[in-house]
Amino acid sequence: MKISVIGTGYVGLVTGTCLAETGNEVLCIDIDKDKVKQMQKGEVPIYEPHLDVLFERNIKANRLKFSNSLEEGLMHGDIIFLALPTPEDEDGSADLSYVLGAAADIGKLIKDYKVIVDKSTVPVGTADRVRKTIAKETKVEFDVVSNPEFLREGFAVDDFLKPERIVIGSSSERATELMKKLYKPFVRSGNPILIMDEKSAELTKYAANSFLATKITFMNEIANFCEKVGADVDKVRVGIGTDSRIGKRFLFPGIGYGGSCFPKDVKALFKSGTEVGYHFNILDSVIKVNSLQKTILIPRIDAYFKGNLKDKTIAIWGLAFKPETDDIREAPALYIIEELLCRGAKVTAYDPEAMTNVKRKIGNKISFSSNMYEALNNADALVICTEWSIFRTPDFGKIKDKLKNNAIFDGRNLYDLEEIKEEGFYYSSIGR
């Protein structure tokens, strides 16, 4: 099939590349000329495991191409994916200007039947708005379909190629059949393609992300309570996770959820509720608890240094909002760094992938190290913000040699309590 993908951000790029992998002819469109040139040379503009291999293979096979021209995109694809950003507006709602702007342009350029697919995470009712925006400009027949994505950063290629489910919101049989044909190769395992109305599909995405964010936040509160009463959240986690109604996943407490999706989507769903006169009490709490959780280590670090962090050097391991990504959007590490700097501390940081992005965002306010041990030179304490595998089994002897105080504040519960005690560290983790 011929596919066009408008927008080569994270979702668009993964979608385009993986659809080319099953033999479709894919044209990806982006307004950023430098980015298009870079992709035409075969360079992947984001870090995502395995994407580079698929990218190169499909470019070589002539199935994956790039262009700046929306007109070319409209000529090429029978199915046009909109994978445009929906950033958070000042009031927390999703800003639809990119999506609706593209819809208006499509209306002006469309010459024959197309299926327009909303792939971006968009509020309930957006498919209708996209449909109306296009229809204002043209008499040509077209359909609008909602097809939310459930990709996790770091696992996006695998998630796309082997999805647990595909959700398609469509009220047109013609469009539904085309979408089913497109996705058939990805659900050979028998996983379902769920067909529903557009609004339910749009809400499915927000409900899924908000549910998962709530699950994590609930565990963060249980962890905080564990500390007060002397229980161990790891034991409680396994204790409840073995109940299949609860499930083992997304029960890991830490220093709050971050990233490009959960924070934005929870706020956007909350805002959508307000707009129709519904107050989401749960989401209101989730937002508040998560914001507190991000800096939960700060009072502990402060107390350890008896309220005097001035000129103390704090080493940070992990800057990305989670491992296997260079994404620092809403990363707890950034909030922790800000609080430390406010208190007069110096920060040296190491992250396997995300240092360039942090440098770009906060410049030389902190110093960066070329490896995890170098970050400990002259440091008074270590704070762990991201659970990269490399941090899981460190050389504790080396850490002790370098740190001035043998203190570790672990926001991701990486170490065994007994082992770390034997090593002689002051160790503070979450809910244990």
Smallest distance, Å, CB 160 to ligand UDX? 10
Q: Does 150 bind ligand UDX (CB under 6 A)?
A: yes
Could you tell me which of 145, 147, 144 has the C-alpha nearest to residue 134? Answer: 144
Closer residue to ligand UDX (CB): 254 or 431: 254
Cα 392 versus chain centre, distance = 22
What's the chain's Rg over C-alpha atoms? 24
- Please give the single-letter amino acid code of residue 337: I
Q: Does 254 bind ligand UDX (CB under 6 A)?
A: yes
Residue 119, both tokens? 């792939």
Smallest distance, Å, CB 243 to ligand UDX? 16
* CB-neighbour burial class of residue 333 (10 A; exposed 0-12, middle 13-18, buried 19+): buried
Closer residue to ligand UDX (CB): 73 or 259: 259
Smallest distance, Å, CB 263 to ligand UDX? 9
Closer residue to ligand UDX (CB): 386 or 428: 386
User: Can you tell me the distance from the alpha carbon of 338 to that of 222, in angstroms, rounded to the nearest whole number?
Assistant: 26
Cα–Cα–Cα angle for 93, 154, 176, rounded to 5 degrees = 60
Closer residue to ligand UDX (CB): 142 or 218: 218
Stretch in the footprint of ligand UDX (CB under 6 A) among 64-72, 147-155, 183-191, 305-313: 147-155
Q: Please name the residue ranges forming H helices in 96-232.
A: 97-109, 126-137, 156-161, 173-183, 198-229
What residues pair up with 3 in beta bridges, in sequence order? 26, 79
Smallest distance, Å, CB 216 to ligand UDX? 4
Q: Which residues in the 304-343 window bind ligand UDX by CB under 6 A? A: 321-322
Q: Which residues in the 214-243 window bind ligand UDX by CB under 6 A? A: 216
Q: Does 252 bind ligand UDX (CB under 6 A)?
A: yes
- Annotation marks residue 28 as catalytic: no
Q: Please name the residue ranges forming H helices in 244-346.
A: 262-275, 281-293, 298-304, 332-342
Residue 270, both tokens? 């909350």
Catalytic one of 28, 261, 342, 385: 261
Could you tell me which of 245, 240, 235, 203 has the C-alpha nearest to residue 218? Answer: 240
Closer residue to ligand UDX (CB): 305 or 321: 321
Residues that bind ligand UDX (CB under 6 A): 149-153, 209, 212, 216, 250-252, 254, 257-259, 261-262, 321-322
Active site residues: 261
